[in-house]
Amino acid sequence: MPHTPDPDEDGLAARPPHPPVYYAEQALLGSLLAEPQRLADVSGIGPEAFSTPAHTAVFNALRTLPAPPPADTDWAAAFGALRARSGPVPAERTDHTAWLDTVLASACEQARGLTAAHLHALISACPNPRHIAAYARIIEGEHARRRLHRAAQHLIQTAQDASLPHPVPIAFAEADALASMVDDIAAAFPPHSGSLPRTPAPPPALVRDGEEGAQEERLLLATCAARPADAEQMHWLAADDFTRPLHAGLWQCLTALIRRGAPIDRVTLVWEAQQRGLLSHADDPRDLLGFLAETDVCAPYLGERILHRSALTTAQQVGRRIAAFTDDAANTPCQLVVGSRRALADLTAVRARWQQATTTKPVNRASPRTAGVAPRAGPPRTAAAPVSRITR
């Protein structure tokens, strides 16, 4: 059978082969063109579920136009008459042929270039019209994959957009929309045990303002080493929020010393770091002691900055993980649901800590442990430093 040009192909450049869902779409449309009454067997999909404008246009026409009365039809003769547009048409085929003509005219309003030959190719591509429900299920699953991929990409773009006035709440809102979409997919494709995707995790997302973030982390560690009570206020900050492994390890050392009620200063903190294996023989403790001496004036402000950056980095990484799941054609819709929910759980944990950080009332810092410690310059402050404070 000669190849019928696809109206979605412009012939200007070689294109990759169509995925299997493309042929499921052809089979479903061919089923409906041959036996319009089978539209009642199609559920879970609309015109937007199709992957090409031509298929979308044909399905929309099939769904909106009233079907002709059922009749035993010689399809080869019917389509031959439709293609020829000439010669007498047997009486028993008049209604169906006229209906096909109407379908073509309606579809051409949305996808120019469609011809009767394209409709003939669609019906020829259908192995068995009785399998139309299976074709619809395939299309529904792939449409869910595309929707999830777009939502994941939108989350990534939001987390990377430095122009947003309040990027963290906006990123959380995008994550909520993505989670709602996952719930919708789960309603159509209930997950089951053992459906976790095996797709490898993508490489870590790039940290926004990496050098500035590292400097803020060093200032926070130095400030908390001098005023441990500040660290006690920041129970919402975790080691995973830090961008550098050394800084994360030092924060763990600091919180461990606080839990033990041990004396804390930069010397005891460096010793704890050595006990935990953070320092190698090549490391010079003087370097660590040096940056731990550079204290700041408002540790909670720095902590919120670090958590802010961590929330956006986590949102970006969650979007990348979900996008990687959708790019793996071997993942079923059930696996996409399970994998996406697990990825979103990581962002939920960061979000809970973010809410604690931004809703916790400031604690009076004039405690016996820190009252005698003054910042490097100026009187002690009782309010968070303005954003312009971190410029180093």
> What pLDDT, on the 0 to 100 scale, is given for residue 80?
59
DSSP 144-189: HHHHHHHHHHHHHHHHH-TT-SSHHHHHHHHHHHHHHHHHHHHHHS
> What pLDDT, on the 0 to 100 scale, is given for residue 366?
38
> What pLDDT, on the 0 to 100 scale, is given for residue 320?
97
> What pLDDT, on the 0 to 100 scale, is given for residue 77?
56
* Cβ atoms 207, 217 nearer than 8 A: no
pLDDT under 70: residue ranges of the chain: 1-14, 71-93, 360-392
| pLDDT tens sequence across 84-131 | 554 454 545 578 889 999 999 999 999 988 999 999 999 999 999 999
> What pLDDT, on the 0 to 100 scale, is given for residue 371?
36
Answer CATH for 142-392 from 3.40.50.12280, 1.10.860.10, 1.10.10.60, 3.30.70.120: 1.10.860.10
At 392 the three-state DSSP class reads: coil
Contacts of 149 (CB under 8 A, 6+ apart): 322, 323, 326, 327
| pLDDT tens sequence across 55-74 | 999 999 999 999 887 765 55
> What pLDDT, on the 0 to 100 scale, is given for residue 76?
54
pTM of the entire predicted model: 0.80
Query: Domain-by-domain residue ranges, the chain?
Result: 20-127, 142-392
Within 10 angstroms of residue 168's Cβ, the number of other Cβ atoms is 20
